[in-house]
Structure 1
Amino acid sequence: MSRKARFILVVLALVAVFGYRQYRDHARDAAASGAPDTKPTPAPPAEPRMLGSIAFTPCTLPSQLGAPGVEAQCGSLPVAENPALPQGRKITLNIAWIPADEDGEKAPDPVFLLAGGPGQSATGSYPAVAAAFKDVLKQRGVVLVDQRGTGKSNPLQCPDLAEGEPSLDEAAAEQSMLAAVGRCREALSKRADLRFYTTSDAVRDLDAVRQAIGADTINLLGISYGTRVAQQYARAYPRHTRTLVLDSVAPNDLFLGNDFARNLESALDLQFARCGKIPACASALGDPRGQLDALMARLEAEPPLVTYRDASTGRSTQERLLPAHIAGLARMYAYSPMVSSILPLLIHEGAQGRYDGLMALSKMLGSQLSDQMAYGMQLSVICSEDADGLQDDPAMASSLLGNSLVAGLVAQCAAWPKGKRPADFHAPLASDVPALLLSGELDPVTPPAYAARVVKTLPKGRSLVLRGQAHNVIGAGCMPKLFAQFLETADAKTLDAKCLDKLAYTPPFTSFNGWGP
C-alpha cells in the first residue's frame, strides 16, 4: 500500500501529441515537367507579442483525449533558483498567456491559474478547464506559470517512483521505494537544489511574473493544492491581490496527507449512499459499502490470481489483485462523479468473484498517472512544508487507505532535502481580499468543511458548496458565469448563486450498458 503514496491529490490528464507531414515536389520531377518548383517557402517566424517586458509567440497547449488544443502565446522568464544567490543558477519559468478577446474593454488585472498536485503544471492543466474561462476572457487575459519543478519549468520527475506497483512483500516494496527515492534525489540534484522548489519559492516567482508583465494587481484562481499557493501569495503580497477564487480548498493549517484516509471514507459513504436511494440500484447492486469491506478482507486474506486484458497492449495477462489496487482505484475514481458512478457496479462484480474489470481498470489508471505528476517537486513541497506534522490516525488503521500513505511519505521525506518554511506558513489567511470559495459536496480530498474553516477569517469571502460534485468544480453548471461575475464585481456576497440549485446527482451504473433511465 505504501507505494501508492506517490498518488497525492493527482488529477487525471492525458497529453495529446500533434504532428504534421510536409509534402513537396522533387526538383527533378518539376524540371522534367516544366512546372515551377512548388517547394514551400518557410513562413517567417512570428513577431513576438509583448506583455510588459516578456516576449510571447504563438503556441498551442495540448488538450486531453486528442481534443483540439488551446491557442495561446508562450514566453519565459528566468529567475534565480536560490533567492540568496541572484547571480547563481537560474530557472527558466515557462509561461503561457491567453489574451482577452479582441472586442470589448480590457481590464488591467489578468487571472493567474494555479495548478494542483502538488506537481501538476498550469499550462498542462488549463485545457481541461478552459471552457470555464469563456466569459472571463471577454475582459481579462489568463496567465499560466508552470510552477518551478513542473511542466517546462525545470521539471523534477522521478520515473522510478512513478512506475512502482503494489507488492505482496511490503517490506521489499518499501526498500525498493526508498532506493528509488535515493536515485531520484541524486539524479535531480545534478541540476537542481531541491530545497528551493517549495510553495514560498513559487509565490516569489509569481510576483516576479506579475512585475514583468506590468500588472499592479492580479486575480488568482487556485485549484486544490493551488489554493495553498493562492493563500500564501495573498498573505505575502496583499496589495497586489485583487481577488481570490479557491476551488477545492486546502486550508493553510492542513498538513497534506493527514486527512486523506478519513476524507475518502466520508466521500465514499456519501457516494455509495446514492445507490441506496435509487430502487433500481439498490435492487441490482445491494450495499456497495458492505461489499467493498468484504472484498478488501477477502483480498487481504488470499489475493486471487486474475486474468485480464491489458489496455495498453491488448494482451491477456495474469496478476494477483491486491487490496492496494482497489484502494487506489476507489480513491482516484472518487474525484469525479462521472467516473465514480461505475464504482458500485465494479465492486459488486468483485463481490461475485469477477475481478478482471477491477484489475484492468486499476492497471490502466496507473499507466495514465505515471507521467502526469512531477513527483520530485511534490516531495520538495511536502517534505519542506508538511512532513513534520504528519502522523498516524489510529481510528483509520482499518480504513481503505489506512496509515500506510502517511508512513510512506514520512519515510521518503527522511531522505529528501528540505527547504525553509515561513513561521506563519500554517496560520490561517486573515485578509479582507474578496474571495470566492468552491467545494464539491462529494469531494474525497478537500471536503466542504475545509472551505468553511478558511472563510471564517475572510470577511469578504463566500463559500459555495456544489451539490453532487466532487473535486475541481469551477466548470460545473453555471459556475463559469458566476466566476466571471465575481471577477467583474469583486463582490462574492452579492452573487446570485441560485442557478447552482439545478446541479443534479450523477446516477450510479446498474449495468455495463450505462446509466439507467
Structure 2
Amino acid sequence: MDAVWRRQSLPVRSLAVAVQSALTGLTSLLLGAVLAACSSGTSPAGGPRADADGQLVYGTLTFHPCALNSASGRSVEAHCTGISVPENAADPASRNIELALALVPATGIAEEDPVFMLAGGPGQSSRDSYPDLHGAFENVLRNRHILLLDARGSGGSHPLHCAEDGAETALTGVGQQSVEAVRTLAAECRDDLSQVADLRFYTTTEHVQDLERVRAALGVPRVNLLGISYGTRVAQQYAGRYPDNTRALVLDSVVPNTLVLGQEHAQNLEHALNTQFARCRQDAACSTALGDPRQHLDQVRERLRSGTLAPVRYRDPVSGAWREEIPQFEHLAILLRMYAYQPSMAASLPLLLHEVAQGQYDSLLAQSQMLSQELGQALAMGMSLSVTCSEDAIEYRQDPRDAGTVLGSEFVTLTLAMCAEWPRGARPENFRAPLTGPVPVLAISGELDPVTPPRYGETVVAPLPNGRHLVLPGQGHSVLALGCMPGLVAQFIESADSAALDASCLEQLISAPPFAGRYGWEP
C-alpha cells in the first residue's frame, strides 16, 4: 500500500463512521417470541397478532418479515408492509403510490401507543436510518412498538431520485456547478420525475396526512412521534393538526415551525466553525503542531478559487481506483459543512486545513468524493426539493452577513435557482404557527450543532407548558444516541413528563479535543 493511500486511511475511515452517525437487530428467535406472545393474547386488544399463516397483523395491515439495512452495514430484523395512498388526497382519481412501512416489535408487553421515528433530510429514509439508531431504542422497545414510515418520495415510498449523473450531489446547494448548470439539472430532474409523479404533492403536509392514515389503519388511538432534524418539523405539524391523536413528542435537533429552513445555514455554520477553531487555538498541542485553522482557511480559500492549481491524483476511497481532479474550494466547503455536524469529525478540521495549506490535496479530494457519494445515496433530492421549494425557498432573502462565510450566499442563490424550475405545492396558512397546547414535548439539542443550534429548541418549548429543552454539552447534530440520552428518552416516553427527568447525567458529556496530528489528539 503506497504512502498516499496510507495518508488517506485515517480520515476516510473516520468519515465513514461520521456520515452514518450524522444522517444513523432483533434476532429471528426474538421475533418468533414476540409473534408467539401476540398470538397468545399478551398484546393489548387491537395490537399486533399472528394470523393463521404466521404473518403479523396490526389493525388492518398485514406485515411480512424483512431486514432493515443501513449504508454502514448494520441490519435489524423487522416486519414490513406497503400502503397504497392517493398521490393527491383531494382527487381520488389521482395516481396511487405505495408507501413503505416497517414495524420493529416491542420486546415485552406493548402499550397501545407506538412510537413513530421520523427521519431528517428532507429526503432521508426512516427505514434506512433506523438500524444505526437501534441501540438507542432498546429501552423504548421494552413496551412500545417502533414504526418507520418512509416519507413519500423517499426510501421505499415512491422515491424521487434525480437520474442525471452527479445531480443528487450538485443539487445539495454546495457544489462546483454554476447557477445556470444547477438550474438546468433541476429542470432535467423535474422533467424526468414528472413522468411518474406530481411533484407538488411530496411535502410535509402530505407526509403528515400519510402518518394519520397509518395511525388509523393500525387502529391505535394515539401515537408518540420522535423526529430528528427535519423530522421534528413533521412531528410538530402532525401534533398541531391532530392534537387528540398525539400523546408525546421527542424533538432531536429542532427545526421550529417559525424557521425558514436554510436561510440561516451560512451564519450557523460559521458560528460552529469559529467555536471549533477557537478550541484549537486554546489547545497547546493543536495550535503548536497545526497553527491557526482560521488563518489557514482564509489562505486556502483564495488559492482554491484562483483557478491556477493543477490536477491532483488520488485514490477513490470506495473503489480504490486512481482518480484525477483539480482541487476546488467546494471540495473543502462540503467537508467543513458536514464534518461540523459531529464534534468527533470537527476535531479533525484543523489537521485538514493544515494539510491543504501545505499543498497536500489528495486527502481533501478523497474525503470530499466519499462524502458526496454518501449524500447522493442518502437523500432523495426530488423529495427534498419539493419540500424546500414549497415551504421555505419562497421566503429566502439574500443576507449581506453571509458574505465571506464558508457557504457564502451560494446556498441561497443555488437553491433559488433550482426552485425556479421546480413545481411548488400548497402550504397551509398556519404552517408557520408555533406549536402550542398541552402536548408533552422533550426537545434535545447539541451545544455545537451547526445547523439547528440550541436556540431553536428554546424557541419551540417557550409556548409549551409541558415542554422541556435539554442541551447536550460539547455535542453536535442528532444527539438521541449519546450518553444517557437513550435512557432519558425512554423515561419520557413512558411517563410523558419531561419535568420529572433527572438530566444531570448529561453533564458528563464532553467534546472530542482538536487533533494535534494524524493520530488524533494528544493524551
TM-score (norm 2): 0.87
* Whole-angstrom CA distance in 1 between matches of 2:115 and 2:384: 24
Matched AA of 1:48:
Q
Q: 1:283 matched to which residue of 2?
A: 288
Match of 1:60 among 60, 63, 67: 67
Match of 1:265 among 270, 278, 288: 270
Aligned partners of 1:46 and 1:57 also within 8 Å: no
Shift of 1:79: 1.1
Aligned partners of 1:13 and 1:372 also within 8 Å: no
Q: 1:39 matched to which residue of 2?
A: none
Pairing of 1:66-215 with structure 2 (within 5 A): 66-67=73-74, 69-101=75-107, 103=108, 105-160=109-164, 161-164=167-170, 173-215=178-220
Shift of 1:50: 0.4
Match of 1:299 among 304, 327, 334: 304
Q: 1:49 matched to which residue of 2?
A: 56
Matched AA of 1:53:
T
Shift of 1:417: 0.7
TM-score (norm 1): 0.88
* Whole-angstrom CA distance in 2 between matches of 1:440 and 1:58: 36
Greater Cα shift, 289-298 or 440-449: 289-298
Q: 1:403 matched to which residue of 2?
A: 409
Match of 2:423 among 413, 417, 421: 417
Matched AA of 1:196:
F
Aligned partners of 1:13 and 1:369 also within 8 Å: no
* 1:166/1:427 CA distance change after superposition, 3 Å: closer
Q: 1:220 matched to which residue of 2?
A: 225
* Whole-angstrom CA distance in 2 between matches of 1:77 and 1:316: 44
| Structure 2 residue 507 is matched with structure 1 residue 501 | yes
* 1:317/1:78 CA distance change after superposition, 3 Å: closer
Q: 1:382 matched to which residue of 2?
A: 388
Shift of 1:164: 4.0
| Structure 2 residue 492 is matched with structure 1 residue 486 | yes
Q: 1:25 matched to which residue of 2?
A: none
Shift of 1:336: 1.1
Task: Give the 3-state SS of the residue equivalent to 1:12 in structure 2.
Answer: helix
- Structure 1: stretches of 5+ with no match in the other structure: 1-10, 17-44
Aligned Cα root-mean-square deviation (Å) = 2.1
Greater Cα shift, 422-431 or 309-318: 309-318
Shift of 1:46: 6.1
Matched AA of 1:133:
F
* Whole-angstrom CA distance in 2 between matches of 1:484 and 1:316: 47
* Whole-angstrom CA distance in 2 between matches of 1:365 and 1:323: 15
Task: Give the 3-state SS of the residue equivalent to 2:433 in structure 1.
Answer: coil
* 1:76/1:317 CA distance change after superposition, 3 Å: closer
* Whole-angstrom CA distance in 2 between matches of 1:61 and 1:317: 33
Shift of 1:233: 0.2
Deviations 1:36-65 (A, max 9, x none): xxxxxxxxx963210111001110001342
Greater Cα shift, 421-430 or 177-186: 177-186
Q: 2:255 matched to which residue of 1?
A: 250
Aligned partners of 1:224 and 1:250 also within 8 Å: yes
Shift of 1:166: 11
* 1:64/1:475 CA distance change after superposition, 3 Å: same
Q: 1:235 matched to which residue of 2?
A: 240
- Structure 2: stretches of 5+ with no match in the other structure: 1-17, 25-51
Identity of aligned residues (%): 50
Shift of 1:292: 1.2
Aligned positions, number:
474
Aligned partners of 2:446 and 2:473 also within 8 Å: yes
* Whole-angstrom CA distance in 2 between matches of 1:163 and 1:379: 13
